[in-house]
Amino acid sequence: MTPLSPADVTTMSASALADALVAGDVSSAEATGAYLDRIAAVDGAVHAFLHVDADGALATAAEVDRRRAAGADLHPLAGVPLAVKDVVATQGLPTTAGSRLLQGWVPPYDATIVARIRAAGLPVLGKTNMDEFAMGSSTEHSAYGPTHNPWDLDRIPGGSGGGSAAAVAAFEAPLAIGTDTGGSIRQPAAITGTVGVKPTYGGVSRYGLIALASSLDQAGPVTRTVLDAALLHELIGGHDRLDSTSINAPTPAVVAAAHRADVAGMRIGVVRELGGEGYQPGVRARFDEALALLTGAGAEVVEVSCPHFEYALAAYYLILPSEASSNLARFDAMRYGLRVWPEGKPEASAEDVMLATRAAGFGDEAKRRIILGTYALSSGYYDAYYGSAQKVRTLIARDFEQAFTHADVLVSPTAPTTAFRLGEKLDDPLAMYLNDIATIPANLAGVPGISLPSGLADEDGLPAGFQALAPATHDDRLYRVGATLEALLADRWGGPLLDRAPVLTGEVLA
């Protein structure tokens, strides 16, 4: 057979690359080198990465190749390179969370998920761009400049994990790690034509994630295929004694579910409140087609109502800022990160230094949310704002419970629109927040969700996403629906959606 070209290697799925590594068709050093070359060629235009660790990735790859040659028993994904969102602590690699406050910080330890990734022998290509401390839906709130959508470089890649999604969409990595507090894995997946999964809260360890909102944050896979997401989910999932909110039970059988790819007899609930007014016609059209395909595959489509979802956005923008204002208080200029002395005050106190440091270190969106959270938690306002938001959270969880008595999964478009232009909503926070209207309820209730491509919207030719949500700890159902729909759509399109993405500048044609 003809040897695999670098373009073959970077466009194949992670599971296909894993098979090729096992078969000896390509080495991990070659595959990792192909991805590093691809990053060098296109990341100037995309800016998905904040830091690339070529030496470290190639060293891991060489070690995996050596062990494989020696006949060692390796993890199925050993040698498949991966990118990590910059909110995840990586020992020896800079970790900034997209903030000036942590510029140059190198953590002295690995997050649990990174430790598992390293133990399994996946070369870490680098750290991906994001909205500062994961606050945003466009990656424009990064202190290091925005990431560009590979489908149209003048548009946003979604956020906060726009870097991870764009890296995967631009074939700069076959796999990436994201984190999802209100949609930061799923919404960028929808916007870039890729796959993203937010596992059940507690399904993947949060140890070593720079916390935004601890009761909402969850790490998960960012990939090009549903099976790849399942493989990465299985690797990073499972109990961790270092995270007291970690579920002490095995990860659901997600890989088996992705292989099974069957929805016969499954009840699929369309959430009436997610999909009407405010959703772009092309996004709705692709969603309706996806539903028809699933019906054709034997699923039963029912309509369900979640009447309190209309309060989810408001509750989220009280709970998240409240938790964030508390979590981000750790950036006090004392033990790590930036320290700025107020000008002309050499005798400044610790408090003066903290005030000056946080003024210089946080961007606009972080400042907005920290101040909002401080307000919501302040005495006299606590009951009206934070207290009421917690009650809405209960009502939303009850809506889910009720809906899941009628349906096995709930579905909606992932985001109401396709990618908008860079800068378009930067100074209109409320308009920006609306991007996450369909993804936020899952975080409030802790249930898992997937987004996969549903096609291109007719009016602008940009990707739209299909979201499925399952009851807590039933993540496997997401993969059954996702893999089924993915296969039906690929059949209809004659290949994956990303085949239709435009050629990027600097791309070397094979």
Partner 1 sequence: MAHLARLARIDLSDAELDHLAPQLAVIVESVAKVSEVADDDVPPTSHPLPVTNVFRDDIVVPGLTAEEALSGAPDVDRRRFSVPRILGEEQ
CB closer to partner 1, 337 vs 496 = 337
Q: Does 329 bind partner 1 (CB under 8 A)?
A: yes
In 14-51, which positions are buried (b, 16+ CB within 10 angstroms) versus exposed (e)? bbbbbebbeeebbbbbbbbbbbbebbebbbeebbbbbb
Q: Is 349 a catalytic residue?
A: no
Spacing of C-alpha 475 from chain mean position = 16
Cis bond before residue 138 (omega within 30° of 0): no
Instruction: Count residues binding partner 1 (CB under 8 A).
Output: 73
**Euclidean distance between CA atoms 198 and 445, whole angstroms:** 12
Q: How far is the CB of 334 from partner 1 (least distance, A)?
A: 5
CB closer to partner 1, 244 vs 405 = 244
E strands in 432-501: 449-456, 463-469
Q: Does 278 bind partner 1 (CB under 8 A)?
A: no
Q: How far is the CB of 302 from partner 1 (least distance, A)?
A: 25
Binding mask 414-433 for partner 1 (x = CB under 8 A): -------------x-xx---
Q: What angle do CA 171, 184, 223 make, to 5 degrees?
A: 30
Among the listed residues 142, 160, 325, 454, the single catalytic one is 160
User: Starting at the edge strand that comes first in sequence, how are the strands of the sheet with 82-85 ordered?
Assistant: 49-52, 124-128, 82-85, 175-179, 219-223, 195-198, 449-456, 463-469, 409-413, 267-271, 300-304
Q: Does 145 bind partner 1 (CB under 8 A)?
A: no
Q: How far is the CB of 296 from partner 1 (least distance, A)?
A: 34
Q: Is 184 a catalytic residue?
A: yes
Q: How far is the CB of 278 from partner 1 (least distance, A)?
A: 15
Among the listed residues 27, 184, 205, 325, the single catalytic one is 184
CB closer to partner 1, 105 vs 493 = 105
Q: Which of 27, 325, 418, 439 binds partner 1 (CB under 8 A)?
A: 325
Q: Which of 210, 354, 410, 456 binds partner 1 (CB under 8 A)?
A: 354
Q: Does 315 bind partner 1 (CB under 8 A)?
A: yes
Q: Is 367 a catalytic residue?
A: no
In 106-145, which positions are buried (b, 16+ CB within 10 angstroms) versus exposed (e)? ebeebbbbbbbbbebbbbbbbbbbbbbbbbbbbbbbbbbe
Q: Does 84 bind partner 1 (CB under 8 A)?
A: no
Stretch that binds partner 1, among 4-12, 144-152, 366-374, 405-413 (CB under 8 A): 366-374
Helix (H) or strand (E) holding 51: strand 49-52
Q: Which of 300, 390, 487, 490 binds partner 1 (CB under 8 A)?
A: 390
Entry field: residues in the chain = 510
Q: Does 330 bind partner 1 (CB under 8 A)?
A: no
Q: Does 445 bind partner 1 (CB under 8 A)?
A: yes
Question: Pairing relation of β-strands 300-304 and 219-223?
Answer: unpaired
Q: Which of 272, 382, 388, 490 binds partner 1 (CB under 8 A)?
A: 388
* Residues between 178 and 237 with contacts to partner 1, criterion CB under 8 A: 201-202, 215
Q: Which of 31, 195, 356, 504 binds partner 1 (CB under 8 A)?
A: 356
Strand partners, 209: 88
Cβ pair 328, 133 in contact under 8 A:
yes
Q: How far is the CB of 86 from partner 1 (least distance, A)?
A: 15
Q: Does 264 bind partner 1 (CB under 8 A)?
A: no
Q: Does 136 bind partner 1 (CB under 8 A)?
A: no
Q: Does 141 bind partner 1 (CB under 8 A)?
A: no
Strand partners, 412: 467
Of 21, 5, 204, 164, the C-alpha closest to 82 is: 164
Catalogue the active-site residues: 85, 160, 184
